[in-house]
Amino acid sequence: MRLLRLWPDESHFDFMRYRRFSFPLSALLSVATVVLFITIGLNFGIDFKGGTLVELQAKSGKADVAAVRHTANSFGFGESEVQELGGEGQILVRFPLQAGEQGQTAVMNKAHAAFDADYDFRRTETVGPRVSGELVQSGTLGVVLSVVAVLLYLWFRFERELALGAIVGTLHDIVLTVGIFIITRIEFNMTSIAAILTIVGYSLNETVVVFDRTRELMRRYKTIPTVELLNLSINSTMSRTVMTSISTALSLLALVLFGGEAIKGFAVVMLCGVVICTYSAIFVSTPVLIYLGLMLSGVKRAQEGRGGLPQAAE
């Protein structure tokens, strides 16, 4: 019985040819993300900004977002954020951080007085300035240390050129993932940090698989050009890449569609992250080795076609 093949065994697809398009595209998206981060910024959640979050459920089954927003802003506590959750009358209201415990109590008193008649209060969260500041510091430190640890692992795991290629790909994936948060305006909270760290791990896994094969082929074939070597590495691991990406994406798609609002933002970012990491491993991390000058046995490999592709490598 023949096993299912999602990628032909004898494929010789020229992935490296598309580096002339993938590099400018990735560079443009990365620069755009940095510009948006500086000008617009992330949609920080209550974990990082502090304040009061209230989840309301309309008793009639249909929520009037505009009316709730107008009422919340009329309290005099600053501009409130109101968004609809799903399509079943659920609303999320975020009130700005107020001075002292009395200020937070006043927010809840006015909210109950205004919305008790038409809405049920399903969830209430209050985060003070000290707690939110500590969460920002802890979250930022956690991400930075994790990324540094991954980059150090890559540096010692591979030869210099392979390590640099893996580092470029990992940083590329982190930047574009942050771009997803900025563009979609998904709330950035502690769960978002977990999503970023998970994507870093997935990116590392995708890159290591391809680069392990690259290193293996470097030792086996010492004369074929770099471009052919890298194409061979990707083609020989493509079946595994396709299987892993599709199975992971289907699982995340199920969470997006049926997992509920509590994890929808996390699932959407993870789904986009899987696409980014798969694209990056093929069209960013691997092609960058050509420009870094992949070395083999101390001699720079030929950059353009010279000699045929070894059939034994399959």
34: CATH: 1.20.1640.10
Residue 78 makes CB contacts below 8 A (sequence gap 6+) with 95, 96
CATH number at residue 117: 3.30.70.3400
Residues in the chain, pLDDT under 70? 1-6, 9, 86-87, 99-101, 128-136, 261-262, 294-314
Q: Are residues 106 and 24 in the same domain?
A: no
> Is the same domain home to 207 and 276?
yes
Among residues 97, 127, 157, the one where a domain terminates is: 127
Tokens of 36: 């948006």
CA 155 to chain centre: 22
Rounded Cα–Cα distance for residues 164 and 65 (Å): 49
Report yes or no on 11 lying in a domain.
no
235 and 144 within one domain: yes
Quote the crossing angle between the two packed helices 190-220 and 226-258, to the nearest 10°.
150
What are the pLDDT digits (tens) for 231-278?
A: 888 998 888 888 899 999 999 999 888 877 667 888 999 999 999 999
Domain end position, chosen among 80, 106, 127: 127
Enter the pTM of the model.
0.75
170, 306: one domain: yes
If you ran DSSP here, which 8-state letter would residue 43 be given?
-
Name the domain boundary from 105, 127, 149.
Answer: 127
Query: Is 117 found in the same domain as 186?
Result: no
Same domain flag for 270 and 163? yes
Structural domain contains residue 192: yes
84, 203: one domain: no
Question: How many domains does the chain divide into?
Answer: 2
Q: Residue 267 domain-assigned?
A: yes
Residue 96: which domain range?
51-127
173 and 206 part of one domain: yes
pLDDT at 173: 93
Q: Are residues 198 and 272 in the same domain?
A: yes
Other CB atoms within 10 Å distance of the CB of residue 43: 18
